[in-house]
C-alpha cells in the first residue's frame, strides 16, 4: 500500500513533525510505503508531487487546522488531529479502510451552503481556541526576534542602549520598536484572518495598532482580532449587493466599514477599561513577592506541562508572552519556560538512571528528549506519557511545578519567549541565571525520581 499524508499543528513547531514521524514509524511496521508532507512554521516541506498523489492508495490528513485538500480530489482520505496521530498511529493504520473518497467540488459546495450546520459539531470554545492560536502562532516569530535583539542590546551594558546612535540603541530599536511594535497587530490580524479569511486581516491589524495606542496591549489586541473577524464575517454573510457591484465588497465596503467600526469601538469602548486592566496586571506581575509568586509559578509550571502542547499549555504560554509586551524581562515567562523544559529533561535523565523501567525505544527517545528539553519543546515527553500516562504525567507535572515555583522564588526573569537553554549564552537575557539553572535541574531531578519510583520494571 502507498500512503501520502499531510501534518500541520497550530503553532507549526513540534506536533507537526512528531505526528509525521509517528505515522512513518507505524506505516513502516505494516510494510506500507508512506510520504508525509509537513506544513510547519517554516512552510511546507517534503512536498507531495502530483505523481506521489496519483500513485497513492490513501491520504492521511493529521492536522489541527485547515489545510488545502483540493489536490486530493478523487482519493480515499481520512482525517485526524495531530495528537491522535502521535498517540495512536498504529490504530490509524488499521482504520485506513474507513477512508472516504474526497470530492473537492462537492466539499466546496457543502462548506459554502451549509457552513452553519457543519460548525455545530465543533464547539464554540474549540473554534475560539483555534482562532486565538492562529494569531499567537503568527505572532511568535516577532516576539522571539524582538526579545532576543533586546537581550543582545543588554549584553553591551544595562544602560548601553540609552546612547543615541550606538549599536545597542539600534538593536533595541529593531527589537523593541519594530518587532514588538508589530507583535500585537499581527496577533489581531491573524485572529481576524482565521475567522473571516483575507478580508479580516486589515481591520484586525488596524485594531491591533489601536490596542497599542490605547494601552490595552495584548488583551486589547485579542479583543480587536475577534471583533474584526466577526464583524467582517457578518458583513460577508449579510450584505448582498447586485452582481455589478459585488466587486466593491472586498476592496472598498468591507475594509472601510469594518475598520471604521472596529476603530471606533477600540477607541471609545474597549481601550480605556482594558488599558486599565492591562496596567493592573502588569503592575501585579512586577510586584509579586513571596508566597504569591511561588503559587503563580506552581500554576504556570503545572499548566505548561500537564497536557504537553494542548490547550492549558497554550493558555499558560500566551499569558507569559503577554507579560513581555512591556519590553521588560518577565518572571512569569521564566517560570513558564522552566516548567516547559523540565518534562523531557526529567524523562531523559530517568532513562539514564533507571534503564530497567523503559523499553529500548523509550531509551532511544530519551536521547532526543535531552535536545527537545533544553530547547523548550515540552512535546519531547509525549512518547513517554502516551505509553504510561498514569505514572509519567504526575511525575512530569510535579517536577515542572517545582521548577516554576523555584524560578519565581529566586526572582528569575527572562527577556525572550523561546529558545530554552540557548538564550542562556546571551548576557542579560536571564536575570539570576545560576539560580534559574538550579530551578530547572531540581525540577528535572524531581521528575526523574518520581518516574523511577512509580514505574515498574520492564519484563523481558
9 counts as catalytic: yes
Contact between residue 398 and residue 347 where contact means Cβ atoms under 8 Å apart: no
Query: Of the candidates 4, 17, 23, which has an alpha carbon nearest to the alpha carbon of residue 84?
Result: 23
Contact between residue 201 and residue 189 where contact means Cβ atoms under 8 Å apart: yes
> Within a 10 A sphere around the Cβ of 256, how many other Cβ atoms?
13
3-state helix, strand, coil in the chain (%, to 5): 70, 10, 20
Q: How far apart are CA 264 and CA 260, in angstroms?
A: 6
Q: 431 pairs with which residues across the strands?
A: 413
* Cβ burial, residue 349 (10 Å; 0-12/13-18/19+): buried
Rounded to the nearest angstrom, the gap between the alpha carbon of residue 259 and the centroid of all alpha carbons in its chain is 28
Contact between residue 339 and residue 305 where contact means Cβ atoms under 8 Å apart: yes
Contact between residue 353 and residue 449 where contact means Cβ atoms under 8 Å apart: no
- Catalytic member of 9, 228, 306, 401: 9
Q: Which strand (E) or helix (H) includes residue 416?
A: none
* Cβ burial, residue 291 (10 Å; 0-12/13-18/19+): exposed
| DSSP state for residue 422 in the 8-state scheme | G
DSSP per position, 181-234 = HHHHHHHHHHHHHHHH-GGGHHHHHHHHHHHHHTT-HHHHHHHHHHHHHHHHHH
> Within a 10 A sphere around the Cβ of 411, how many other Cβ atoms?
15
| DSSP state for residue 101 in the 8-state scheme | E
What are the backbone dihedrals phi and psi of residue 328, each rounded to the nearest 5 degrees, phi first? -105, 160
Cell numbers placing 386 = 502516551
Q: How far apart are CA 257 and CA 119, in angstroms?
A: 26
Q: Indicate which residues carry an active-site annotation.
A: 9
Amino acid at each position: 500500500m502507498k500512503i501520502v499524508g499531510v501534518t500541520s499543528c497550530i503553532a507549526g513547531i513540534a506536533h507537526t513533525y512528531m505526528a509525521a514521524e509517528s505515522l512513518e514509524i507505524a506505516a513502516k511496521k505494516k510494510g506500507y510505503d508512506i510520504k508525509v508532507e509537513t506544513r510547519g512554521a517554516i512552510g511546507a516541506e517534503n512536498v507531495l508531487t502530483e505523481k506521489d498523489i496519483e500513485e497513492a492508495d490513501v491520504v492521511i490528513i493529521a492536522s489541527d487546522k485547515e489545510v488545502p485538500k483540493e489536490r486530493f480530489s478523487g482519493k480515499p482520505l481520512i482525517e485526524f488531529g495531530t495528537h491522535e496521530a502521535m498517540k495512536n498511529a498504529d490504530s490509524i493504520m488499521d482504520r485506513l479502510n474507513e477512508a472516504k473518497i474526497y470530492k473537492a467540488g462537492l466539499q466546496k459546495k457543502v462548506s459554502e451552503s451549509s457552513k452553519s450546520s457543519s460548525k455545530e459539531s465543533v464547539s464554540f470554545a474549540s473554534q475560539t481556541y483555534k482562532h486565538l492560536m492562529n494569531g499567537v502562532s503568527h505572532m511568535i516569530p516577532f516576539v522571539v526576534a524582538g526579545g532576543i535583539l533586546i537581550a543582545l542590546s543588554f549584553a553591551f551594558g544595562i544602560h548601553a542602549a540609552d546612547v543615541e546612535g550606538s549599536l545597542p540603541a539600534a538593536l533595541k530599536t529593531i527589537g523593541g520598536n519594530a518587532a514588538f511594535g508589530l507583535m500585537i497587530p499581527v496577533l489581531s490580524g491573524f485572529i481576524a484572518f482565521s475567522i473571516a479569511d483575507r478580508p479580516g486581516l486589515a481591520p484586525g491589524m488596524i485594531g491591533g495598532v489601536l490596542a497599542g495606542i490605547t494601552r490595552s496591549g495584548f488583551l486589547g489586541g485579542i479583543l480587536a482580532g475577534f471583533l474584526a473577524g466577526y464583524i467582517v464575517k457578518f458583513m460577508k454573510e449579510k450584505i448582498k449587493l447586485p452582481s455589478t457591484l459585488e466587486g466593491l465588497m472586498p476592496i472598498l465596503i468591507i475594509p472601510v466599514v469594518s475598520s471604521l467600526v472596529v476603530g471606533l469601538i477600540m477607541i471609545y469602548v474597549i481601550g480605556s477599561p482594558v488599558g486599565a486592566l492591562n496596567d493592573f496586571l502588569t503592575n501585579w506581575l512586577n510586584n509579586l513577592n513571596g508566597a504569591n509568586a511561588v503559587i503563580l509559578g506552581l500554576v504556570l509550571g503545572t499548566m505548561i506541562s500537564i497536557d504537553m502542547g494542548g490547550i492549558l499549555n497554550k493558555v499558560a504560554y500566551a499569558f507569559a508572552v503577554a507579560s513581555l509586551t512591556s519590553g521588560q524581562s518577565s518572571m512569569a515567562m521564566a517560570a513558564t519556560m522552566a516548567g516547559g523544559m523540565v518534562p523531557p529533561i526529567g524523562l531523559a535523565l530517568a532513562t539514564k538512571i533507571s534503564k530497567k523501567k523503559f523499553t529500548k525505544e523509550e531509551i532511544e527517545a530519551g536521547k532526543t528528549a535531552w535536545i527537545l528539553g533544553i530547547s523548550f519543546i515540552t512535546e519531547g515527553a509525549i512518547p513517554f506519557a502516551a505509553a504510561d500516562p498514569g505514572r509519567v504525567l504526575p511525575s512530569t507535572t510535579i517536577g515542572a511545578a517545582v521548577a516554576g515555583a523555584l524560578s519565581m522564588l529566586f526572582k528569575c526573569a527572562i527577556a525572550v519567549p523561546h529558545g530554552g537553554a540557548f538564550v542562556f549564552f546571551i548576557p542579560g537575557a536571564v536575570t539570576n541565571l545560576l539560580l534559574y539553572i538550579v530551578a530547572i535541574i531540581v525540577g528535572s531531578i524531581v521528575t526523574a525520581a518520581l518516574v523511577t519510583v512509580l514505574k515498574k520494571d520492564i519484563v523481558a
